[in-house]
């Protein structure tokens, strides 16, 4: 798992969570506080999404991978970790427009679920992946 576009403090936090969660199946209080400090209010919302097992990794035979996160409202967002993008309004406003955050709750939930090893996995055909990617980029902006 790579977090190379994130600031080193966030990158290290995910690595620490990954290591500790594998051994204890818990995130210690000091790491929860660090998550809140680094990512702000979306940290708790992202953890809630992870607890609800709302993150699914879709992978195709050609090696393409993308993540779908079902938000609190029931809407599913297709997140692109490789280019650091989520089509949700919060990402567009808070991250892109105002530059007030590193991630939206959906992208943060993807990173947390990966670090914790609790991401749902789903195989899709290359055609399904192509359709999903073209539909997402066309309709969710």
What are the sequence ranges of the domains in the chain? 8-139
Confidence band of 137 (pLDDT split at 50, 70, 90):
low
pLDDT for residue 111 is more than 70: yes
Rounded Cα–Cα distance for residues 18 and 94 (Å): 27
* The model scores a pTM over 0.85: yes
Could you report the per-residue pLDDT of 29-84, keeping only the tens digit for each?
Answer: 999 999 999 998 899 999 999 999 999 999 999 999 999 999 888 999 999 888 88
- If residue 22 lies in a helix (H) or strand (E), which one and from where to where? helix 8-24
Q: Count the Cβ atoms, other than its own, within 10 Å of residue 130.
A: 14
Measured at the alpha carbon of residue 99, what is the angle toward residues 5 and 3, in degrees to the nearest 5? Answer: 15
Rounded Cα–Cα distance for residues 133 and 128 (Å): 9
């Amino acid at each position: 798992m790579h977090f190379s576009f994130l600031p080193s403090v966030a990158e290290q936090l995910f690595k620490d969570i990954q290591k500790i969660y594998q051994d204890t199946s818990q995130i210690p209080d000091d790491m929860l506080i660090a998550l809140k400090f680094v990512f702000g209010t979306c940290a708790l919302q992202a953890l809630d999404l992870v607890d609800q097992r709302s993150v699914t990794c879709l992978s195709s035979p050609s090696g393409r991978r993308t993540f779908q996160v079902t938000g609190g409202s029931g809407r599913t967002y297709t997140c692109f970790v490789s280019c650091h993008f989520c089509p949700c309004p919060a990402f567009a406003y808070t991250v892109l427009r105002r530059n007030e955050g590193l991630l939206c709750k959906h992208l943060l939930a993807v990173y947390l679920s990966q670090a914790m090893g609790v991401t749902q996995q789903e195989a899709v055909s290359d055609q399904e992946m192509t359709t999903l990617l073209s539909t997402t980029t066309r309709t969710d902006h």
